[in-house]
Structure 1
Amino acid sequence: MTMGRELPVIASARDVRWGQDADMDAWLHHFKTENNIEHLMNPEHVASDEQLKFMVALDEQQVFIPCSDEILMCLMEEKPSGDLMREYGRIWLHTVRLIRKHAFNMYHERKVRAFCRLRFKTHLSSRIMIPSRLLKRMNSIVLTQCSLVDPSDEDKMEENRRAFEYINKPATDRMLYATPSECMYNPDVRNLRSELDSIELLRLMYLSTLPALWSSSTPSYLDVEKAINAPCPTAHSMEVLLGSEKDERKTILFLPESSGGIVFDLFFIRALLRQGHKVILALKEGFLFDSPTFWDAMQDPVLVELCKGAKMVSNDTITKNLLLALLRSHRFLIISDGMREKLNLYKTNVTFSRAWKECDVVFAKGAENYDNLINCGHSFTRDVLGYYRKKDGTFVLEAKPRAGNVRKFSEEAINAMANRIIETMRKEKEKGRSVMFYSAVIGSIPGETDTAIKVVNTFVAHLRSRLDSTFIINPAEHFEEGMDGDDLMFMWEQVQRSGLLDVWRFQTVEDIETSFTLLDRKVPSIWSGKDSTFSTGCTKEMRIALDVQKKNPELQIIGPSSEKFFRRAEYGVGKYYDAGITSM
């Protein structure tokens, strides 16, 4: 029996899980390895499961497949799929054209083409590569061999210039902002305003998906006017996601498609900003044909003009605190998604992942984004609105609701939790009690979180029985279901910097040994020698403690010496446990 026949029948990517079929597990390992999306093999450039869970709603053992269900079915077929082979064929044509255009000379062209052919044949025979991953791999070879950075930069600038000229023409302005006659009969000014806002957004969506507007031959205004006034049966979903003017304004993560279209996208973003929303625009890290890149926004004169007022965020590993601070001070951020390929959440950078987590809705433009987000079986942690125009000219817009079990903790909600704890601390101090914060290992030992909570709770109960007039804050007692490491650290930092702490105690080896003694258990080998210096979260808290102590010299810090903490690496993205240990 062949490998293909041994694979179980999968109806959708959402059905793929580890541990249900040995052959499927083997295929998944092969799939992730060949597509370079296995975190353990490339932790610097592949998102961890915790980072993925910022974006994708995954249950235990579920595997994220970064492509449409249709592509997944093609990859799993025993015999070569015609659709997959045609997609691979298009990639080869793209590769050959790129080589012909940018090779140094005929000899160099033959050499690079031969090299690419050898690599391409290898991938063709395995038929395991996601087309977008294969395209990126072939592009990387050509760019390296031909010493290129962005071979499309001049073409993209020309497309943006044409689009900018078109949208600034008086005739375009009249067409875009003409009030439909049916709006005249709306008796409520508020409803009328909302209706006009929606019409403007929809028209800009229509314009942004008409490539003819930034091509060398501009279409007739009659055709364009007909296109932008065409009814869209699903447009109401956008209105629902954005809400009315009475609703809280949204934070939107916007994923564009192409140069030329990005000009209309930026006018679309301006309209969203005018309506009070916040927008994070995610551009490509580097060359992907006509896709706008992060550097385009700083070099292309048209984009520079349209992005005035936006905050360019070049930090690829931004923290939650900094991202929220930027969103408070800037309503329009521009980030890099960390990729030189079509949307692949495994390859996004930390900043993109956190932007996704902190937004309310994702606007995903283009057929590829639509395929990877709307046409895949996975559910996501945020509502997604996908739209594009088919080759026959049909405009498609569809919303995908976030997973029903996902709970988003807004900055306001986390602040409220922190403030409740701070208020309790204040009341305890008014009673004359000392306030102690206990920092301990909670999730730093994978698989031992439940034990860690028992250890902490047992020792804190022991302290409370021995210490008079002391109010002890035990983080394990304030866990909220659905909060990840980012949310918890954000909340606790506010509590820790409140200025109300008298004692900050960090867990020691002796504390852990005492806890196991009180539990009438021997210390398991995995816990032997552990203390708070083993935790990256505690390491971050030690830095905060030392900073707080500078402002409040009366703060007592008890536990291991601070020097022992700073061998830890940065806090793992979305994790309760560590990213790793740096050299001593």
Structure 2
Amino acid sequence: MTPVHFPTIGQPSELRYGKDPLLDAWLLHFMSENHIEHSIDPLRNASPEQIRFMAALGPDEIYVPCSDAMLGHLLEKHQEPSLMDAYARVWRQVLELIESHCPGEYEKMMILALCDHKYRQAVNAPVLIPSRLLKRLTSIFLAQAGQDDPHRDRKRLMNRRAARFLDSHAMSAALGTCPGLSFHCATIRDMRFDLDMLEITRLLCLSVWSRVWEEDAFNPSPEQIEQELTRCSSSEVLRRVLDPGRPKSMKILYLPDSAGGIVFDILAVRALLRMGHRVILALKDGFFFDAPTIWDAEEDPVLVQALAGARILADPRMSKNGLLQAIKENPFLVISDGSRERLNLYKTSVTFARAWKESDLVIAKGEQNHRRIMQTSVKFTRDVVCIRLDSGDDLNAEFKPRPSGLRSFTEPEITAKADAIIARMRAEKASGKTVMFYSAIVGSIPHETDTAIRVLNAFVKHLRARLAGTFIISPAEHFEEGMDADDLMFMWEKVQRSGYINVWRFQTSQDIETAFELMGRTVPPVWAGKDATFSTGCTKEMHIALDVQRAHPEMQLIGPDPEKFFRRREYGVGKFFDAAIASR
């Protein structure tokens, strides 16, 4: 057997699939060992399309949830000192967890030994991202110790300390101190913005002053508080991204860092709301040391009071329509990011991915978020500001802009496209024509999207020649570069629910055979027997069609039996291609 030589990896920023089969194999090995490969475990990992809601990836580019420096150490394939130090920090965290929270000596020894086996395995063959090792070991602890959140009481104590400090006379005086006449503004609007920025800066400064919640008897004097706030000068980065000269208010996704600090984060969010922005606060889905969780938002009395009036969204798979409607109805939403670890886009929920995609700005707090966002060459689909304490213990805000050439469609733009189609439907119907909507496979067969569009166009042309007095809407004729499946489904649902459709036709296998015949081609094996029921997008549209028909019984449905559609799951997030039939 010919020996397999290990490929040259290169720099982390140069990683691509399709350059070298041996490199592809190593990358799949790396991804699968870290349990983040979608093709191997699609139920627990975000699809490439969902990742692209958040990460601006080029063709065949790979996203890895760690810093470039850490990825470089892992690519070296041997025990780099920095990597071993990171593993050692993980072990110390887990050891402290086991020592402090195990229910008995027997269980403690068993869990410790089991974690030790897993830890030694990781150290001897270093391919695991340290945070993934931490997640693996903490999951073992939680399962074997029968606990869901061993830091629950600790976090509540931290939040109580922060709230108590916030309510103190010295703190109230310092936070609300008038800045005097130091502002240099031309208008009242500018002065109002300056005041808002001063308040937000003070709150962010307090949100990283960990002594407030880590020390039980912390009671600084007014002078000490003033000195701390003075160190945190107004950030030009924040002023620039929150510039009141923007044409519209923003949707902001806010990622907090730690219990205690979140009390001040929520006040900063309230200031953003007062400025006219809408905010989505993303908490962890379960235990991750001192990070606030969605459970805390519902059960911690301090957070319940602080979040009064905010709407907590419990659905981890909200549709684009549902999320946008929730944002319209309530300017302050609270969601789970779907994970129990550092920011890892592969493990985030559908709702979080859509919240990121629909936001104009992401504000991420803390060193860990900074490493995952700023210390990687990966670009993201939205502007991101990371806020943390720098090496000099000063508040630092760092900006990572979205790629300048990235095209995305806003809700008003998509709605305008839908309204234009609806206006055309209304006019055609008023002129006496029958309005037909044709639902067909577009991207449900991997690597066959171009063929699907040719099939669709050929058959619609055939229908138009045969059906006089019929206005036929073909989805393939309204696609624009940059629109993903979420955008299209959002646009088409508005069109489909307009009430102007007389006939809704779903593609049949006979339609496909006729189209290939019209193109002078035989039907390829991959297309044999296919119809609209093979498309998860069409499946969602059949649900809509039946709903519309209940409101408009005169609408005619043509195509496969509706029952044949419902074997399939919800259409994949951001996908043009199909999700598999659920196993029984």
Structure 1-normalised TM-score? 0.96
Equivalent positions of 1:73-152 (< 5 A) are: 73-152=72-151
Query: Superposed, which structure 2 residues align to 1:1-20 within 5 Å?
Result: 6-10=7-11, 13-20=12-19
Match in the other structure for 1:430: 430
Mapping of 1:160-175 within 5 angstroms?
160-175=159-174
Deviation at 1:509, TM superposition (A): 1.2
| Deviation of 1:108 (Å) | 2.8
**Maintained 8 Å contact 1:570/1:578:** no
Identity of aligned residues (%): 48
What's 1:189 paired with?
188
Q: Which residue of 2 aligns with 1:469?
A: 469
CA-CA distance at 1:476 after TM superposition: 0.3
Partner of 2:310: 310
AA aligned to 2:30 is F
Query: Given the superposition, is the C-alpha separation of residues 386 and 200 from structure 1 closer, same or farther in structure 2, using an over 3 Å criterion?
Result: same
- Cα drift, residue 177 of structure 1: 2.5
Structure 2 residue aligned with 1:155: 154
561-570 vs 498-507, greater mean Cα deviation: 561-570
Letter of the 1:457 partner, please give it. Answer: N
| C-alpha separation in 2, matches of 1:133 and 1:480 | 38
The residue aligned with 1:292 is 292
Note the 1:206-245 alignment, pairs <5 A. 206-216=205-215, 217-218=217-218, 219-230=220-231, 232=233, 235-244=235-244
Whole-Å separation in 2 of the counterparts to 1:208 and 1:4: 51
Give, in whole Å, the separation in 2 of the partners of 1:32 and 1:89: 22
Q: Are residues 1:38 and 2:34 paired?
A: no
Q: State how far apart, in whole Å, the 1-side matches of 2:76 and 2:225 are.
A: 42
Deviations 1:218-239 (A, max 9, x none): 2444343223223558x22222
8 Å CA contact 1:4, 1:76 repeated in 2: no
User: Which stretch of structure 1 is more off in the superposition, 173-182 or 48-57?
Assistant: 173-182
Alpha carbons 1:567, 1:583 under 8 Å: kept:
no
Q: For 1:8, give the aligned amino acid.
A: I
Change (3 A) 1:119 1:246: closer
Shift of 1:475: 0.5
Measure how far apart 1:552 and its partner are.
Answer: 1.2
Task: Report SS of the residue matched to 1:281.
Answer: strand
Query: 2:59 maps to what in 1?
Result: 60
How far 1:4 sits from its partner (Å)?
A: 11
Q: Distance in 2 between matches of 1:332 and 1:520?
A: 56
Residue type of the partner of 1:113?
L
Aligned-partner Cα distance in 2 for 1:224–1:86: 36
**2:230 maps to amino acid:** N
Q: What do residues 182-229 of structure 1 show as CA deviations (whole Å, max 9, x unaligned)?
A: 534434211111111111111111110110111224244434322322
**CA shift at 1:245, angstroms?**
5.8
Does 1:344 pair with 2:344?
Answer: yes
CA distance change for structure 1 residues 108 and 583 in 2, over 3 Å: closer, same or farther? closer
Conserved in 2, the CA contact under 8 Å of 1:5 and 1:78? no
Which one-letter code corresponds to 2:10 in the other structure?
V
Q: Is the 8 A contact 2:285 2:337 kept in 1?
A: yes
Whichever residue aligns with residue 467 of structure 1, its letter is L
Q: Is the 8 A contact 2:6 2:22 kept in 1?
A: no
2:553 paired with 1:553: yes
> Structure 1 pair 51/169, CA: closer, same or farther in 2 (3 Å)?
same
SS at match of 1:346: coil
Shift of 1:395: 2.2
- Residue type of the partner of 1:407? R
Shift, 1:5, TM fit:
7.8
2 CA distance for matches of 1:160 and 1:41?
40
Q: Which residue of 1 aligns with 2:70?
A: 71
Separation of aligned partners in 2, 1:444 and 1:125: 43
Kindly tell me: are residues 231 and 98 of structure 1, through their superposed partners in 2, closer, same or farther at Cα, counting changes over 3 Å? closer
Q: Deviations over 1:14-63 (max 9, x none)?
A: 32111223443232122111110011221111111011010001111111
CA deviation profile, 1:471-505 (whole Å, cap 9, x unmatched) = 11011000011111111011001111111111111
Worse-superposed segment, 258-267 or 209-218: 209-218
Correspondence list, 1:473-552, <5 A: 473-552=473-552
Structure 1: distance between partners of 2:10 and 2:551: 62
Question: Hey, what does 2:580 align to over in structure 1?
Answer: 580
Q: Which residue in 1 is equivalent to 2:357?
A: 357
- Structure 2 counterpart SS, 1:412: helix
Q: Is the 8 A contact 2:149 2:286 kept in 1?
A: yes
Instruction: Give the Cα–Cα distance (whole angstroms) in 2 for the partners of residues 76 and 383 of structure 1.
Output: 29
CA distance in 1: counterparts of 2:5 and 2:213, whole angstroms: 45
Q: What secondary structure sits across from 1:42 in the alignment?
A: coil
Q: How many residues align?
A: 580
Runs of 4+ off more than 6 Å: 2-5
C-alpha distance in 1 between matches for 2:322 and 2:63? 28
The amino acid of 1:564's aligned partner reads K
Deviations 1:334-374 (A, max 9, x none): 11111111111111011110111111111000001011011
Q: Distance in 1 between matches of 2:122 and 2:194?
A: 51
Aligned-pair CA distance for 1:394: 2.7
Displacement, 1:544?
Answer: 1.2
CA contact (8 A) 1:446 1:577 kept: yes
Amino acid in the other structure paired with 1:205: L
**Corresponding residue SS for 1:362:** strand
Q: CA deviation at 1:407?
A: 2.1
Task: Read off the aligned partner of 2:61 and give its amino acid letter.
Answer: Q
Which residue matches 1:415? 415
Q: Partners in 1 of 2:41 and 2:7 — Cα distance?
A: 29
Q: Deviations over 1:415-458 (max 9, x none)?
A: 10000000011111122111111111111111100001001111
Does the Cα contact within 8 Å between 1:385 and 1:399 map onto a contact in 2?
yes
For residue 252 of structure 1, give the secondary structure of its aligned residue in structure 2.
strand
Local SS of the residue matching 1:347:
coil
Q: Distance in 1 between matches of 2:348 and 2:198?
A: 33
1:573 to partner: Cα distance: 0.7
Q: Which runs of 5+ in 1 are unaligned?
A: none
Structure 1 CA distance, aligned partners of 2:379 and 2:528? Answer: 40
- CA distance in 2 between counterparts of 1:303 and 1:315 reads 20
Return the letter of the residue paired with 1:274. R
- CA contact 1:100–1:109 (8 Å) conserved in 2: yes
